[in-house]
Structure 1
């Protein structure tokens, strides 16, 4: 059995996953696309070294920022880890917020054209709003489901269309070899969550997000994918004098709230999801354990 802990950013997924792992002899497997990258710690809300020392954590700090990585590669990396955890008699607990990666792992991805470096270079020269308008014309379904600011997925969808002549949304997923999972999703009153998210943004800037970003820019090119992530893009703008810190914090708050809303929309469309109210963390933990024990 595999357990998924999902929900909008800031709702308490990581804390619940650690408590379950400690109680049910589990190990945590990350499906957050930014937490995969080394040194991108503050802006991704990566679990602290102390927390990761308590329970085995997998697929954190496994990539450098200038490495390309996509959902298919994530699934290929995560599947043997999940299988190995289960083979050792432990409970695999998938935790994160990049649900496209989660879907790739649990349900698989269609055999689509491989990445084309030359084509990607051409697409990178086009400004983001124009790229998304182009995608919306040639593949309306993907245009609706992919956020305008998610440049990596927009580029991939256009790349598949340009190479194959088919929208990425038309490719069929495999019907076998799926991973059965107990999917637990955390929810919270929207206004309460918004308050938590705003405080979280303030904490990140106070903890040194801009300084962390400055250090990362000395190692990696600004075009590296993680620099487009929420918080890092705004920190880069501050470093280049394009935003004040207050403007960056406000934009980070706005993007974080929008991201949480998209995550909830995605989860509500998923089937067989067990929803738990995260307001009372002890009650949510007890309910999650009952669900897991009921499936054992």
Structure 2
């Protein structure tokens, strides 16, 4: 099997879609089918919650019995105290993909974080570190003054952003002041993407909404019985920064409210179910509209492996 960047492009499978859509089970089934042909397959996580070791239950990370002997990587690889950005994950995924290819295997990306996948495949703007003095000056500006400055120095970003979007306005302004180049110009020149160097075999899962919502509801309720409360309690004991992704994961706030006596168990479950359904809806919309139109999409809950991955398995 050729390595990334060689004339013969090595294969990478991709199974993506909203939470609770059955991606992980399908990835394992595909890996088993590849193994039946005498090749090795490795499942690589592309879910921004499942990267954290602290979120075994709340992220629905596959348990050992779910993996059925298939090698899984990048699951629980980050401590919750460390934020895993899209660039961080993409760098780790590139290394894992190269290692799997070097061993003659087939990587199977599975997850629901579109930004992770886009960064890996298309690259990311290589914006230099912002000068601390520039950042401090920009962040000290009143909102109206920052927006007025952006209108003058980066018209494109100002036109795109709402005047009250302080965080994005500050980011665009500090980029142009620190680098001399607008944020849009940087974003037009992404680097590090691997799409050109691999033979990608994607599948987007877009099941029936009512079926998906019912699975979201059942799964969140089951999480409390499976140790989600203890998981959140362990996070709270660590007194991590509330702005960290692990602390903003779906279910953490709701269960923390229950542990603190602000919510009854039934209220925490209802709130968690609502948040999960809303998240699944956003993911559904993203995967329906953002990936290239030629990527296969299916509403089937149990698509036939040999049919949907016929080219990869031929």
- Deviation, 1:158, is 5.6
C-alpha separation between the residues in 2 aligned to 1:196 and 1:169? 42
Deviation of the 1:4 alpha carbon: 0.6
Q: Return the match for 1:174 from 190, 209, 220.
A: 190
Partner SS state of residue 64, structure 1: coil
- 3-state SS of the aligned residue for 1:39? helix
Structure 2 gaps of 5+ residues are: 1-10, 35-39, 140-156, 177-181
* Residue 291 (structure 2) aligned to one of 253, 262, 270: 270
CA gap of 1:115–1:60, structure 2 versus 1, over 3 A, is farther
User: Once the two structures are superposed, what CA deviation does each residue of 1:46-75 show, in whole Å capped at 9, x if it has no partner?
Assistant: 000233461111111211111122111111
> In the alignment, which residue of structure 2 is the partner of 1:215?
234
| Separation (CA, whole Å) in 1 of partners of 2:59 and 2:86 | 18
Aligned length: 268
Q: 1:176 and 1:61, CA in 2 relative to 1: closer, same or farther beyond 3 A?
A: closer
Structure 2 residue matching 1:94: 3-state secondary structure: strand
Structure 1 or 2, whichever has the larger Rg, is: 2
Are residues 1:248 and 2:264 paired?
A: no
Distance 1:140 1:204 in 2: 44
Write the deviation string for residues 140-196 of structure 1: whole angstroms up to 9, x where unpaired.
Answer: 7578xxxx9xxxxx96x5663242144569722437753242110112111111111
What TM-score does the superposition give when structure 1 sets the normalisation length?
0.80
Structure 1 residues 247 and 23, CA, compared in 2 at 3 Å: closer, same or farther?
same
Deviation digits for residues 210-248 of structure 1 (CA, Å, limit 9, x no counterpart): 121102222341523211111112112222233222222
Residue 163 of structure 1: aligned partner: 174
1:189 maps to 2:177: no
Q: Is the 8 A contact 1:142 1:169 kept in 2?
A: no
CA distance in 2, matches of 1:115, 1:42: 37
2:82 to 55, 67, 71: 67
Q: How does 1:1-296 map to 2 (within 5 A)?
A: 1-24=11-34, 25-52=40-67, 54-114=69-129, 157=168, 160-165=171-176, 166-167=182-183, 171-174=187-190, 177-179=193-195, 180=198, 181-223=200-242, 224-268=244-288, 269-271=290-292, 272-279=294-301, 281=302, 283-293=303-313
Gaps of 5+ in 1: 124-137, 149-153
Tell me the distance in 2 between the aligned counterparts of 1:171 and 1:51: 39
Q: TM-score, normalised by structure 2?
A: 0.76
The 2-side partners of 1:164 and 1:48 are apart by 42
Alignment RMSD: 3.0
Provide the rounded CA distance (Å) in 2 between the counterparts of 1:226 and 1:82.
25
Retained in 2: the 8 A contact 1:116–1:159? no
- Contact 1:65–1:220 (CA<8 Å) still a contact in 2? no
Moved more, 168-177 or 236-245: 168-177
User: Do the aligned partners of 1:10 and 1:196 also contact (CA within 8 Å) in 2?
Assistant: yes
